[in-house]
Each structure stands twice: as structure tokens, then as C-alpha cells.
Amino acid sequence: MMTLAAAGAALAVMLVAFAVGRVRGMHRYVDIAWGAAFAAVGVVAYVMSAGHGDPARRALVLVMVAVWGLRLAAHIAWRGRGHGEDPRYEALLDKAPGNRTMYALRMVYLLQAALVWLVSLPVQAASYIPGPLGPAAAVGVVLWAAGLFFEAVGDRQLARFKADPANRGRIMDRGLWSWTRHPNYFGDFLVWWGLFALTCDAWQAAAATVVSPLVMSLLLIRGSGKALLERHMEGRPGWADYVSRTSGFFPRPPRKRAAPSSRSTSGGG
């Protein structure tokens, strides 16, 4: 029942986003729904696990997934205000073999609802673990907090950089962005391994849900995260120099510039 209810919560959020997108004529709202859908799954897991899971673990899981999901949703909503359609969705829908609206429903909203359900399996399972919080949960909280830091601070640094007209056409290579080209995606990576760690006090739950952080890691590194963004940035002035100095994902101190190069570029971090 829990997995069905979680799937229903994710689907409901995505269908609301689909209705808004259809009325507005844009499908970028699905990105806001992504974080909100995880928060909805967290609420459903908390409610349905009452009387089954450890109360402290249930509350901790809810807080962790809700804070992460709602912060992400709010950030994307704020970042996208006044903008038109996301180029990713324009490119996808230009290839639609038939009705664009129904194609968007299938390939954007329903697909993301399924991914929310899959990735959120640790949230669902951890809520039902009856035993008290153990060392694995402490590790999970540390990973989650570090991930939230990288994601929130990285997003804030990039927003401030882009808001300064003097930085127009420059690559963001400051702050956390000098340690990794994708502090926000690395933050997501830590958050979901942290949430998975909350299942590790019960090996059965961990074994059943380890696929979820693995899928999220694959999406972030090889799928719609890092790989997609870097294909978009390739060839821009200054990008190759930035790549040569900065870690592609896992943070490390930046390398020194091999030679002076122009900072005049196109795009942002």
C-alpha cells in the first residue's frame, strides 16, 4: 500500500504541473514539481507509517526530504520567473511524433513521476523501520547536510554572479564553482545517499532500495544533469580552460591556470 500511495502522490503533483503547463503553454513547471513531488511522497510516507516505524526516524525522514524538495522547488520557481519555455523541453517536443501535449504528458510528466517514485524508495522504506536511529542514520544526516550546503550555497552563488551585469558572458568559476563544475548536482548526490543511509540500520531495507541512489547518481552524472549541461556548454569561449582547472563532479581544489586566458565567455556555471 505504501508504494502505491507514494506513486499516487508523485503522480498527483505531476498532473497538477501538467495542467498548469498546458494552460500556460510551457512545460518548465515540471522542474518545480520535481522537488515538490518528493516532499509529497515524504508526507505520505510519514502519515502511512504511523504505528509502524520508529517515530524519530519517521520525523527525520520527513524533515530531510521536505526541506530538500521544497527548497529546490522554490529555487527553480524563483529562477524561472519571467522566462519562457526551457530549451530542453522545446527540443524534446519538436521531435514529438504526434500530439505535442500528449507527448509531453508521457515523456515529461509521467516519466518524472515514475522516477520520483523510484528514487524515493529509501524515504518510503526508512519510514517503516521500527528500530531506533543508529550510526548509519547519523552518517546519513551528515551527508544530507553537506549535500544541502553544496546545493543551496552553489545555487545562491550562481544567482548572485548572474545578477551582476559585469559578469554577462562569463563562466562562473568562483566559490564552490571553483571546486566542482556542478556543486548543485554534487549536493543532490550527497542528499540522496544520505537519505539512503537512513535505511542502513535494517539491511533488508537497504538491499531493497540501494537501486534508488544509484539511479539518482546515474541521472546526475551521466543523464539529465552534468552530461546534458556540459554538452550545452561545449565550445563556448573559456569553457575548455574552466574544465581543465575544475573537477567535473567530486570537489577538489582548483588547478592553477596553465596560461593566461580571456574570461570573456558565454553562459554561466
Q: Output the pLDDT for position 225.
A: 85
Handedness of CA 156, 159, 165, 170 (dihedral sign): positive
Q: 65: Cβ–Cβ under 8 A, 6 or more apart, which residues?
A: 38, 39, 41, 42, 120, 123, 195
Q: Output the pLDDT for position 259.
A: 53
Q: Output the pLDDT for position 91.
A: 83
| pTM score, whole prediction | 0.90
Q: Output the pLDDT for position 264.
A: 36
Q: Output the pLDDT for position 30.
A: 95
Nearest of 26, 4, 28, 34 to residue 220 by alpha carbon? 34
Contact between 4 and 44 under an 8 Å Cβ cutoff? The reply is: no
Backbone angles phi, psi at 146, to 5 degrees: -65, -40
Residues of the chain scoring pLDDT < 70:
258-269
Length of the chain: 269
Q: Output the pLDDT for position 96.
A: 82
**pLDDT tens-digit profile of 84-97?**
888 888 888 888 88
The full set of domain ranges for the chain reads 1-131, 134-269
Alpha carbon 50 to its chain's center = 28
Q: Output the pLDDT for position 258.
A: 59
